[in-house]
Structure 1
Amino acid sequence: MSLLKIASVACIALTLGACQSLFEPSYKAPLETLRDTAETVKQGCSGAECPLVNIDTVRFPGEPQLDGIIERRLLQMTRSTADAPLPASLAAYREQFLRDAAPRNSSYLQAKVREQHDGLVIIELSSYLDNGTATGKPGRGFINYSRQEHKVLTLADMLKPGEEQAFWKAAQVAHNSWLISTRLDQEAEFLKAWPFKQTPNVALTTAGVMLKYDVNTIAPYALGHVELKIPYSRLGGILKPELFPARK
């Protein structure tokens, strides 16, 4: 092949590569978000004891599929039992709750972007049901959404095959660190009453893999939602390599 032909082929390859990069989405730039918030009081009611529903969520104009995922997860957090039917929408839930609510009953639902990095959108979900008693019922959750795959990542998606046990051992080390930092490791009765447990709430943040626990899971209600952090340095060979945050 002549030098001229080699040069021509190289130019074509470079041109195609440049064109391809123009059409590939940039995952470095975060998705645009729109906050959608509303508080609705029971119709015809006035005063401090009126039932209300407060919904504070986020929408993604460039990724509408994620909007539906968030709405479904928020609706799941309204269930009183695991097998209870889901309302058709947040609007339907609001209408149903206000129709049936007693005085001083309130429902709060929130979805917020915790962070975006490396093509991932990390959503933190919160709920709180105030049923008029001394303590309400709070809930927490995470969504780890992959923009490349257009899906929510489960723990199985995050880990290398066969490494789930190793992951939870790393989580138990993080739990031990939390006990030491709070000096609860010195409380024999606490350790007996509140042993380490697994949680479905896992988030791939840039600071580490975060685990969040519902109240009364590994600590009493008064300590709130305990959050544990597993440093990425402890997850080599456990977490899939492509999910480690890129170094800036």
Structure 2
Amino acid sequence: MPLSSNASFPVALSRVTALLALLLAAGCDNRGDETKPGKLQVRQESFELRAPDCKGEECPSVSVDYQLFENRPALNNAIREQLAQQLQGFAEEAGSPGSVAAAAEAFLQQAERAPEDTGNRWHMQGNGKLLGRSGKLVTIEIGSYAYTGGAHGIPTTHWLNWDLEAGEPVALEQIIRPGQEAAFWDLARAAHERWLEEEANIDEEFRQGWPFARTENFHLDKKGLTLLYGVYELGPYAMGQVQLTIPRDKLDKVVREEYLAE
């Protein structure tokens, strides 16, 4: 088996020092004024875990690399929680989200129980980075990828939108002007139609099999508002994670002004 079941798991990891540093950092954010929307100062956290008793090039592994922000403890906690939730989603028995390190440990323990011909090739990645900012709204892209056998792995991306003044997450419904929900989704449907027209080999069968759907995953930038869809939401795996963009000049009447400021 890749891992020894009677060994202390954290000690058995090849990068235990990095893991311990990550666990300590989780409780050591600098405390500052969370509501000041000034310049964001970035710091990096990362670690790599690998089954120590596994020999050869193919061994279960986890690598995580994400950005946090000085004097933004609430935002940092939200980033860690979302990343842990995504990594936890690949576990056999998904429970309440724990820490990023705990999710990584659970993944490797599950790989140990998998058949050796597949478990040795399991790997998982997690990342988080600043995607952009529009007015007081900042967007963090949190991504994960896991391979647990088969033809391909599963990528997942979440765009965490954060109000720097309020110090809290912002949902899509909160940035839409009151009474403009229907108008917003009409614009989204138009963006979907443009995407269909630009894609090759789209016929009526495809349109019927992969209809338009709503999503809460969004990002605002100078180009407009982009909606993000996971694999299998608007098309087959080969099409990847689809993005639909509503041009910025279409947003003035449907998105609140404070989120459109440069």
Normalising to structure 2: TM-score of the pair? 0.78
Matched, 1:49 2:58: yes
C-alpha deviation, 1:206, in angstroms: 2.6
Any stretches of 5+ residues in structure 1 without a counterpart? 1-22
Partner of residue 239, structure 2: 223
For the aligned residues, what is the CA RMSD? 2.1
- Following the alignment from structure 1 to structure 2, what is the Cα–Cα distance between the partners of residues 163 and 47? 57
Q: Which runs of 4+ in 1 moved over 4 A?
A: none
Question: Which of 25, 37, 40 does residue 31 from structure 1 map onto?
Answer: 40
Task: Note the 1:63-212 alignment, pairs <5 A.
Answer: 63-78=72-87, 79-80=89-90, 84-101=94-111, 102-184=119-201, 187-212=203-228
- Following the alignment from structure 1 to structure 2, what is the Cα–Cα distance between the partners of residues 168 and 184? 25
C-alpha deviation, 1:192, in angstroms: 1.6
- Following the alignment from structure 1 to structure 2, what is the Cα–Cα distance between the partners of residues 121 and 244? 12
CA contact (8 A) 1:111 1:124 kept: yes
C-alpha deviation, 1:84, in angstroms: 3.1
C-alpha deviation, 1:88, in angstroms: 2.1
C-alpha deviation, 1:87, in angstroms: 4.1
Which stretch has the larger CA shift, 126-135 or 38-47?
38-47
- Following the alignment from structure 1 to structure 2, what is the Cα–Cα distance between the partners of residues 169 and 108? 36
C-alpha deviation, 1:183, in angstroms: 4.2
- Following the alignment from structure 2 to structure 1, what is the Cα–Cα distance between the partners of residues 96 and 73? 20
- Following the alignment from structure 2 to structure 1, what is the Cα–Cα distance between the partners of residues 57 and 216? 36
- Following the alignment from structure 1 to structure 2, what is the Cα–Cα distance between the partners of residues 63 and 143? 14
CA contact (8 A) 1:159 1:240 kept: yes
C-alpha deviation, 1:30, in angstroms: 2.9
SS in 2 for 1:134: coil
C-alpha deviation, 1:229, in angstroms: 0.7
Which stretch has the larger CA shift, 44-53 or 210-219?
44-53
C-alpha deviation, 1:47, in angstroms: 1.8
- Shift of the 206–26 alpha-carbon distance from structure 1 to 2, 3 Å rule, reads farther
- Following the alignment from structure 2 to structure 1, what is the Cα–Cα distance between the partners of residues 107 and 222? 37
Identical columns (%): 32
SS in 1 for 2:140: strand
Structure with bigger RCO (C-alpha 8 Å, 6+ apart): 2
- Shift of the 117–242 alpha-carbon distance from structure 1 to 2, 3 Å rule, reads closer
The letter of the residue matching 1:94 is A
C-alpha distance after superposition, 1:10-68 (max 9, x if no partner): xxxxxxxxxxxxx9x874x5300112122211122232221011111111112111111
Residues matched between the structures, number: 220
Query: Which one has a bigger Cα radius of gyration?
Result: 1
Normalising to structure 1: TM-score of the pair? 0.82
